[in-house]
Structure 1
């Protein structure tokens, strides 16, 4: 009986080269994977969209109900929310926009293979902006699988995602291995097969190109608001309102009427 058990144990023993390979992978994962699940959760596009949607729903709900029910508290809540967001954007986010985006891009590159939504987002950005990485294509060494060190046992070592590759005319099937070994090449050599420019520079170029259009749209939306209060008084005076509101609207009209 003991001999049979020993034979079964010998049959279940892994080959030495396979055991060494698994041990090498385990050591590499424990050393090169310091990021936690929390970082993956924070850079998940679904989580970001949910948070933004909840904030927008809260503000618009308070504004709609406050204007409909003439609730001063809800309107003050909307005003306070807008002021808080504007202050946070101008004082906290705007000066640190580039560094914050760099941190986000770094985490997105690190967790590229961990989240499918994040992977699709990065591929979409790199395809649309025709860029690769944040500063350059070598930033993909931050990723566990694309890390370009000798200790990396991954088959994608020194590679970049296929979304960095320049499209080949007439190609019907996407070559997902087009970026293999690109990180070992110099800039001019890599330029033949991928977009070597970082997404940070492409984003700055995109903002500079569309800044005039965004400014014109903002100005076009803001100009009609200049004459809106007087027009509002005229419309409300012609509607059915209570005596108290008619007195308030009459005072509003008189205060905005031109003095002779």
Structure 2
């Protein structure tokens, strides 16, 4: 190769390496800031709760936000500063964790497909546990209300599931005014209704199915969510493929950055 060709190739290589370095940095920085926001929101929600605290990770949305945000913060810290400072150790940690997460996601998807019935049973147990703990945690209550409004459903399998909650339990010794009722988020919303009637679900568990269906949604949320997943299968698959593609791209960028640092150390006569 001629000296002129070598001079021409060197700026190109440096330009390409700068693109890899700062593209990886920008990706990691965006996720780093996002993780910090998740942690802040989770901490605020945890502190702002009135009294009751749910210690279960799967039943406490605030704790879930803090956990996911903390993991993202640590991982993207490695990638962000590893790319910016050309730190091989940080890039190694970032790449290793990212590959491990990628493999776990693929394994979870395969196991979820092979053991779909077990996944549904576990989901049903978690949703039933959420109904029992409704009103014990403000975030959990808001989450259940959102799901019931979004999917126009009530309970897990039917509106009768709310009898498992101490406030909505349907028996004669229950002193609660909401006994034999359901939350207002189960109620059918009419187009001309501007202010929701929070008492619309009172005593509906004592009504016949046809009569109750005129006031509330009697179909369970588990079936509605499964049906929504089947109808939006391509959307869910596209989002999953997009996430995997992003993770693979960041892994490739990290690997390319590490390879460049190794070549530079070797050309400078340093031992890697």
TM-score normalized with structure 2 length? 0.63
> What do you get for the CA RMSD once the two structures are aligned?
4.0
Match of 1:45 in 2: 61
Which structure has the larger Rg?
1
Return closer, same or farther for 1:167/1:235 CA change in 2, 3 Å cut-off.
same
Match of 1:83 in 2: 103
Does structure 1 residue 131 correspond to structure 2 residue 153? Answer: yes
Q: Secondary structure at the match of 1:242?
A: helix
Q: Is the 8 A contact 1:40 1:111 kept in 2?
A: no
Using the alignment, how far apart are the partners of 2:249 and 2:103 within structure 1? Answer: 23
Match of 1:9 in 2: none
Higher RCO (Cα < 8 Å, 6 or more apart) = 2
Using the alignment, how far apart are the partners of 1:62 and 1:245 within structure 2? Answer: 25
Match of 1:26 in 2: none
- Give the number of aligned pairs: 210
Using the alignment, how far apart are the partners of 1:233 and 1:81 within structure 2? Answer: 16
Q: CA deviation at 1:43?
A: 1.1
Q: Secondary structure at the match of 1:120?
A: helix
Match of 2:7 in 1: none
- Give the stretch that moved more between structures: 120-129 or 82-91: 82-91
Return closer, same or farther for 1:59/1:82 CA change in 2, 3 Å cut-off.
farther
Q: Is the 8 A contact 1:39 1:107 kept in 2?
A: no
Deviation sequence 1:95-124 (CA, Å, 0-9, x none): 332222222211211111111111111111
Match of 1:173 in 2: 195
Q: CA deviation at 1:210?
A: 1.5
Match of 1:100 in 2: 122
> For structure 2, which runs of at least 5 residues remain unmatched after alignment?
1-51
TM-score normalized with structure 1 length? 0.66
Using the alignment, how far apart are the partners of 1:229 and 1:117 within structure 2? Answer: 35
Deviation sequence 1:82-141 (CA, Å, 0-9, x none): 434554565489833222222221121111111111111111111011000011000000
